[in-house]
Each structure stands twice: as C-alpha cells, then as structure tokens.
Structure 1
Amino acid sequence: MLHIGCHLSSAKGYLAMGKEAALMQADTFAFFTRNPRGGKAKDIDPQDVQAFLNFASEHHFTKLVAHAPYTMNLCAAKENIRAFAHEILTDDLQRMEAVPGNYYNLHPGSHVGQGSEAGIAMIAAELNAVMFPKQTTTVLLETMAGKGTEVGRSFAELKSIIDRIELQDKIGICLDTCHIWDGGYDIVNNLNGVLEEFDRIIGLNRLKAIHLNDSLNPCGSHKDRHAKIGEGCIGLDALVRVINHPQLQKLPFILETPNDHDGYAREIALLRSHFHKK
C-alpha cells in the first residue's frame, strides 16, 4: 500500500485533520506544530487527541510527520534567535508525546556566515540538550536544497549532525525530492546511485519519511522551488520510480506541492494509480 498524504492545517485539531486526510484517500499527513512563522502553539485537547487516535487506528493510518516552524533556527548567529528556537523545540517535543510514536521533521538551520562546521556543532548540541530518553518521537533532519547558508545541503553534512547525537535511536532523515534534486542529486537519471550514496554515507535505516515534490528548477540549482507532481523538472515518471522503489515504498510520502485540497486529492489519486506493491 502507498502511504501518502499532504500538509494540513492543525487549527481545527487532530481529528479534523484525520477526517480531511481520509476524504483525500490519504493514510498519513503532515502538520505544522504551530504557525509556520512561529508563535504560540494551539492548546492540545485530550478528547480530540483520543478521538483522532481511535479514528487513525480504524482507518489504518501510518506515522504522521509533524513539521517544525520555519523560524526555528538552531544555529542562528544571534543568541535571542537560538533561545527562541530552544523554546520551540523543547515545547514541541513535549507536545508530540500527545500522539506518541510519530515523526517531528525540522530544517536543520542556517549558519548565517558562521560556517557549516559551526552550524553543525550548534545544531547537534541543541538537539542533545532538548531530546530526552523517554521520548517516543523520532526527530527527522530534512535534506536541504543548499540555498544561502543552509546546513544539510549534502548527505555528508547531515551525517555530521547525526554522528554527534547522543540518543541515536531517536534521530532520522526526511528526504525531500525537490531539495535533493535542487541540491545536485540526480534522482531522474540515477535514483539507484543517489540511494546507494545515501546508504553509504548515512544508512538507509535512517530514512524515515519522504517529502514528495516536483521542482521548478534544474538539478543543482540550489533554489528550493516546489512544483506540482509532473509539472516540474523532475517529472512524473521519475517520481513514480521513487514511490515504487523497493527500498522506499513502505515509507510515508508527504506532498508539499503548491496545491489546494482538491489538487492534493488529485495528486494522491494519480500517484496511487501508478503504485505497484512489491
């Protein structure tokens, strides 16, 4: 079965997101833990959470992929921005325990001129300070396109962060197809080679989720401009090979394409029609 969903608004609560996903024939979804630009998170309603957990079980949902806000920069040059990131990360990982056993995806951060090595060290130190032994959530570092001073532009940079993490069983990777394509990894002509490189450097056992997106730009552009499935430079055929790859097809796939509700439903139906269970 293809495990696929999209980003949904968390404003109405978990059960509303679950029902919306089910209407789109999705069995997972992503959501921002708070406003994507930061701010206070919505209070968690225990009754809503329990109703969702029951609904998710009945509809055979796979793991959810929560997303940290874009403003959370764990390696910012300014101390007040790092302190803000610390507060968000601490709160989010505690809140994730309301829906235990899921994923919390984050952009590693931007070193803002401090250098990637300094950024890597700061990101790892912050994660080590906040992650806790009893957490059931797996933290996912997202592969980045490499624009500006982003950390995580290569598999090697992500491995450098992972190597510094103390709770090794609670860290993984979310691979974004647009980002790695824009970052120079040719998944159109050499998907097997890209996955072999990932396995050699990081290990495919670390790969827990995929953001499935087309790209408006050619390979290696370092732009990070998402496109609808089949309407970009990656193309439908290559993305179909991704969802059908035997080493990937059991993972949750999250669409982050520029779409509305109906557009996501069409993409989910399109991709399901091209999925071949191994």
Structure 2
Amino acid sequence: MIGWGRMLFGCHLSIREGYLGAAKAAEKMNASAYQYFPKNPRSLTVKDFDQEDARLCRDFCEEHGIFSIAHTPYPTSLTPHPEKQDLTINSLLNDLDIANCCGSAGVVVHFGSPISSRDPLAGYHLMIEMLNKVLRQWDGPCLILLENTAGHPGTMGTIIEELVQVRSLCDYPDKIGFCLDTCHAFASDLWNGDNLEEFLQKGEELNYFEHLKAIHFNNSKYPAGSGKDRHANIFNTGHITEKQFDEFVKAEPFKKLPFILETPSDEGIKHADEVALLIKKWVNSTDVI
C-alpha cells in the first residue's frame, strides 16, 4: 500500500482549466488527493493532450504532496462488444499515458459485466484478455486500478475474491491495483457497515489490501445489499452512518490511503465544504491515531 504517513482527503475535480488547473483547485481547497477524467468523460476518442500542462501538474503535485488518480471515461468497459475492443484498448492506453504524465498513481477502471447467460465465466475471460492486450503495450509506473461494482450480491465484481483472482490470472499483475468504492461495497453487501472485521479479515487473507491504492469515499442513498449505485454525501444524507464511516476510516489498512469523494455537489453541500468537514473530523481531530 501507499505509505504517505498521513490521512489524505479530496474529491473528483474537473480538468476544464487543464491538468495543472485541477491540481491547483485541489490545493486551493486544502485537499491532499483528487481524481479527474483524463479526457472527455463521454467519449473513447484518443486525446492529443498537452504534455507540458501534464508535466506541470505532476511537478505541482510533487511540490505540494498531492496524490491523484484518473478515472476512465463512462463508455469504458473491460467486457466490450467485439467491434469496440480496439477502440477501448487504445482509449485505455491513452488514459494511462495522460495519467502517467500527470504523475498519477493509476487509472480507475470499472470491473466487467456478464456477456453470456450460458457461460458465466465468459465475462472474466474477456476481462483478462482485454487487460493483457492493454498492459502488454504499457510500461509506465501508472497502474490500472480495478474498482468493485455495486450490483446485487452475485453480480460480477462485488466480492474480493473476483478482484484478486482476475489480477492474479493476468499476465501482468504488477501493473494492476485496486480502488475500493464504499458505496459500491455497501450496495453489494461486501461491507454493510456492520461486518468490518469480517471484511478486513477477508481482505488480509486474500492479500487485497497490499494492492489497494485509493478509496472512493461515498455514502449510499439506498440500504446495504440494494444493488443500487446511487452516491450520497458522507454526513447526514445516506444509509452509512457516521459511526460506521469512523470505524472504517480508522481501520489499519485504510489509515494512509487517499479517500476521494464522488459525492453530489449540488445537494446542500459543495465538495470544498465536504472536504473541509472530512479534514476537520479525521485529520485535525485529536482522536485520530
């Protein structure tokens, strides 16, 4: 795991003002981590990006001790239809190139989905094939970060075993890490707020936490096990309680990992204010170990 020696909090930020602009926006709100889309979030088109802007972003983050990750565009799928496979591979390589130039630790990619009702393993086989095709062409330090999904229990990508197994079966496991989404974990019953010890034990046994690089820090608008991916703000509005989050944040595997909000910014609290609340509670609080 990343050893930052301190707790990191931040949120998803726009690159409307460029990659350096996003980093400066993080610093302005006193965030120590952030996430961004490396290009148009609704397109897989390869972007001819401003490399100087990306390098300035990297230098700024290094100077200010800011952690960053990128997130693939919405259409990205590790189980795409055959006609979109080459487009997806080229897009992922482009995302990795941009994120690497920005000094980011990795690019978050959603776990795949079933592609055959007759063969439940077909989706996993295609995921591994796609990852191998991408990573065969990638030599940078920036990782692909597989994210757990928010489906009902039994849906692809909802349990630690799947994430770990897909990574281990790839030809390039050292180029793959994980990103844990708390809303997704809650929705899929992986972590339901009351089974933290069981969740921690399972993650330790399967060596999941060693490769966990970031946490998407989101509350859930629906109860545990709902299978619904609807993010809520951390405090007061979701089904995950403040006590449950407090136990989670202070758990040993997560103490030095970046917590990055993907919460609504138009439902009563702005991201800058929400980040400030997180810092006040878990960075400036005297009861944080």
Q: TM-score under structure 2 normalisation?
A: 0.87
Gaps of 5+ in 1: none
Of the three residues 79, 89, 93, the one matched with 2:92 is 89
**What is the CA–CA distance in structure 1 between the aligned matches of 2:86 and 2:190, rounded to whole Å?**
34
Q: Which residue of 2 aligns with 1:270?
A: 277
**What is the CA–CA distance in structure 2 between the aligned matches of 1:108 and 1:18, rounded to whole Å?**
27
By how many angstroms is 1:101 displaced? 5.6
Say yes or no: does 1:156 pair with 2:161.
yes
Q: Which residue of 1 aligns with 2:3?
A: none
Say yes or no: does 1:99 pair with 2:105.
no
**What is the CA–CA distance in structure 2 between the aligned matches of 1:154 and 1:106, rounded to whole Å?**
16
How large is the RMSD of aligned CA atoms in angstroms? 2.2
Please show how residues 87-236 of structure 1 align to structure 2 within 5 Å. Answer: 87-100=90-103, 102-114=105-117, 115-132=119-136, 134-146=139-151, 151-230=156-235, 231-236=237-242
**Which runs of 4 or more aligned residues in structure 1 lie more than 6 Å from their structure 2 counterparts after TM superposition?**
none
**What is the CA–CA distance in structure 1 between the aligned matches of 2:280 and 2:42, rounded to whole Å?**
35
* Paired positions, count: 276
1:277 to 1:148, Cα distance in 2 relative to 1, 3 A: closer
Contact 1:145–1:223 (CA<8 Å) still a contact in 2? Answer: yes
What residue identity is the alignment partner of 1:274?
A: K
Gaps of 5+ in 2: 1-5
Contact 1:101–1:136 (CA<8 Å) still a contact in 2? Answer: no
What percent of counterpart residues are identical?
34
Say which is worse superposed, 215-224 or 133-142, in terms of deviation: 133-142
Of the three residues 252, 258, 272, the one matched with 1:252 is 258
What residue identity is the alignment partner of 2:278?
A: L
What residue identity is the alignment partner of 2:271?
A: Y
Say yes or no: does 1:59 pair with 2:64.
yes
Contact 1:187–1:238 (CA<8 Å) still a contact in 2? Answer: no
**What is the CA–CA distance in structure 2 between the aligned matches of 1:174 and 1:100, rounded to whole Å?**
17
For the residue of structure 2 that corresponds to 1:274, the secondary structure is helix
Contact 1:11–1:42 (CA<8 Å) still a contact in 2? Answer: no
Q: Which residue of 2 aligns with 1:70?
A: 74
Contact 1:215–1:232 (CA<8 Å) still a contact in 2? Answer: yes
Contact 2:14–2:22 (CA<8 Å) still a contact in 1? Answer: yes
**What is the CA–CA distance in structure 2 between the aligned matches of 1:97 and 1:266, rounded to whole Å?**
29
By how many angstroms is 1:147 displaced? 5.5
Say yes or no: does 1:50 pair with 2:55.
yes
Q: Which residue of 2 aligns with 1:27?
A: 32
Of the three residues 232, 238, 242, the one matched with 2:244 is 238
Contact 1:93–1:131 (CA<8 Å) still a contact in 2? Answer: no
For residues 153-199 of structure 1, the C-alpha deviation after alignment (integer angstroms, 9 at most, x for no partner) is 22122122112112222211101000011001234212122121122
**What is the CA–CA distance in structure 1 between the aligned matches of 2:113 and 2:27, rounded to whole Å?**
36
1:88 to 1:147, Cα distance in 2 relative to 1, 3 A: farther
Contact 2:153–2:188 (CA<8 Å) still a contact in 1? Answer: no
1:212 to 1:252, Cα distance in 2 relative to 1, 3 A: same
1:250 to 1:105, Cα distance in 2 relative to 1, 3 A: same
1:183 to 1:202, Cα distance in 2 relative to 1, 3 A: farther
